[in-house]
Amino acid sequence: MDFGFTEEQELLRDTARTFVERNCPPEKAKQWDDESYFPADVVAAMGDMGWFGLPFPEAWGGGGGGPIELAVLAEELSRASFDIGMLYIGTFIPGLALYDWGNEEQRARYQEGMLTGSQRFAVSISEPDAGSDLGAIRASAVRDGDHYVLNGTKMWCTGAGLPNCVIVMYVRTDPGSSRHNGLSVLIVDPSMDGVEIRRTPTLARHILGTNEIYLRDVHVPAENLVGPENQGWDVLMSNLELERTIISGSYVGAAQSTLDIAVAYAKEREQFGRKVGNFQAITHQLADLQVDIDSARLLTYRAAWLLAQGKPVAREASMAKLKGSETYVNVARWGMQIMAAYGFSTESVMSHRYRESIVAPISGGTSQIQRNAIARSMGLKGT
């Protein structure tokens, strides 16, 4: 058994940590969230580091990184904020689906942009009536000659409004199908006629932003079909465990930096002639939170290791997602209590973490859905 990282992984961790300190410290991330500002220069700098190419094979010009390297990077970048981590993860996850399922022409079309990060991707699954229940997707794509004609409404598409972004969209191509059958994946360009994007006002996650998408007779070229027609469910499932694992790395990083802020404050703030961090009621809470974070970290890297070994990981990825997301909420909740009134000020980074963390057990599959999956793996009904 080996809990250590390789020298390369350690170097990646150190480099990413320095990157965050220089380019996007938590205070900056908070400011950008307040201003709904997209830091294109930071994304370009990530591209200069070669990080967008990391998930792709070396033979294709990528970095040949595996799940462990991606989790390390996700953890470190998300010390800035979860949304900063998602600037990275949120584009390469749908990019990987396109790489894995796309044909040669599609891969070639996006190769340079994928490897440099100049091309962004968003993933669009959710709809007004299809949240946890992905089989309820209704947006339709009807084949008409060399096009598909799309109609419907998609919801919560993160990052779709950013510059140079295309949407990896899940739609129903077989009108007679139900549930998980008859779905397909199409690449939709937001500039296509009939596509309307409206940003949804949210509590946080304002750097990427999340969007409603209205589709009215949108003509998408048939060459934008990714993978076989009516097999969209297989595409969706193929990356799910990687996504849950890497996102858990992000929750761990965001939670750790949130705890670090609370600890630093507790060491400075004095009441009753003592540092508040010397009251046992506070120190024990901080200790418990660190145990929680380390538990989430271990679950994350176990899932990443299993993925790297090509072993089954459905249960472990759900455990990591569940623990990571709920830990982030718990740490931000307690961070607020420890910083008290200063945390409650909307000028504090803690207030940003409090807002941002609350969505962690919702997006990317809710905590209930993760518990269902874990229960199923235990032979329980899990619905």
Ligand X SMILES: Cc1cc2nc3c(=O)[nH]c(=O)nc-3n(C[C@H](O)[C@H](O)[C@H](O)COP(=O)(O)OP(=O)(O)OC[C@H]3O[C@@H](n4cnc5c(N)ncnc54)[C@H](O)[C@@H]3O)c2cc1C
For residue 127, the minimal CB distance to ligand X (Å) is 8
Q: Does 157 bind ligand X (CB under 6 A)?
A: yes
Nearer to ligand X, 126 or 258 (CB): 126
Nearer to ligand X, 9 or 366 (CB): 366
The SS3 call for residue 356 is helix
For residue 210, the minimal CB distance to ligand X (Å) is 4
Among 18, 132, 278, 345, binds ligand X (CB under 6 A): 132
- Sequential DSSP letters for 37-56: ---HHHHHHHHHTTTTTTTS
The SS3 call for residue 141 is strand
Nearer to ligand X, 99 or 156 (CB): 156
Q: Does 383 bind ligand X (CB under 6 A)?
A: yes
Interface stretch with ligand X, choices 5-13, 46-54, 56-64, 368-376 (CB under 6 A): 368-376
Collect all residues with Cβ–Cβ distance below 8 Å to 114 and sequence separation of at least 6: 52, 53, 56, 92, 95, 98, 99, 121
**Torsions phi, psi for 195 (to 5 deg):** -95, 125
Q: Does 370 bind ligand X (CB under 6 A)?
A: no
For residue 368, the minimal CB distance to ligand X (Å) is 3
Among 363, 375, 376, 377, binds ligand X (CB under 6 A): 363
- Tell which residue, 361, 352, 289, has the closest CA to residue 324: 361
Residues 211, 198: contact at Cβ < 8 Å?
yes
Q: Does 126 bind ligand X (CB under 6 A)?
A: yes
Interface stretch with ligand X, choices 10-18, 117-125, 182-190, 234-242 (CB under 6 A): 117-125
Footprint of ligand X on residues 190-229 (CB under 6 A)? 202, 205, 210
Q: Terminal CA-to-CA distance of the chain, rounded, Å? A: 35
d(CA 309, CA 305): 6
Interface stretch with ligand X, choices 74-82, 183-191, 340-348, 360-368 (CB under 6 A): 360-368
Number of chain residues interacting with ligand X (CB under 6 A): 22
Contacts 24+ apart (CB under 8 A), 29-34: 29/80, 29/81, 29/83, 29/84, 29/207, 29/352, 30/81, 30/349, 30/352, 32/206, 32/207, 33/81, 33/83, 33/204, 33/205, 33/206, 33/207, 33/352, 33/356, 34/206, 34/352
Q: Does 325 bind ligand X (CB under 6 A)?
A: no
Chain residue at closest Cβ approach to ligand X: 131
Nearer to ligand X, 142 or 362 (CB): 362
For residue 296, the minimal CB distance to ligand X (Å) is 19
Tokens standing for 312?
A: 């089954």
For residue 170, the minimal CB distance to ligand X (Å) is 8
Binding mask 245-284 for ligand X (x = CB under 6 A): ----------------------------------------
Residues 155, 127: contact at Cβ < 8 Å?
yes
For residue 130, the minimal CB distance to ligand X (Å) is 8
Nearer to ligand X, 15 or 368 (CB): 368
Q: Does 156 bind ligand X (CB under 6 A)?
A: yes
Among 89, 97, 125, 218, binds ligand X (CB under 6 A): 125
Sign of CA dihedral 335, 337, 343, 344: positive
For residue 382, the minimal CB distance to ligand X (Å) is 8
For residue 369, the minimal CB distance to ligand X (Å) is 6
Nearer to ligand X, 62 or 249 (CB): 249
- Tell which residue, 142, 151, 220, 218, has the closest CA to residue 186: 220
The SS3 call for residue 194 is coil
Q: Does 239 bind ligand X (CB under 6 A)?
A: no
Interface stretch with ligand X, choices 14-22, 155-163, 252-260, 305-313 (CB under 6 A): 155-163
Contacts 24+ apart (CB under 8 A), 140-143: 140/171, 140/172, 140/173, 140/175, 141/171, 141/172, 141/173, 141/184, 141/186, 141/220, 142/173, 142/175, 143/173, 143/222
Amino acid at 4: G
Query: Could you list the residues that contact ligand X (CB under 6 A)?
Result: 123-126, 131-132, 156-158, 202, 205, 210, 359, 362-366, 368-369, 372, 383
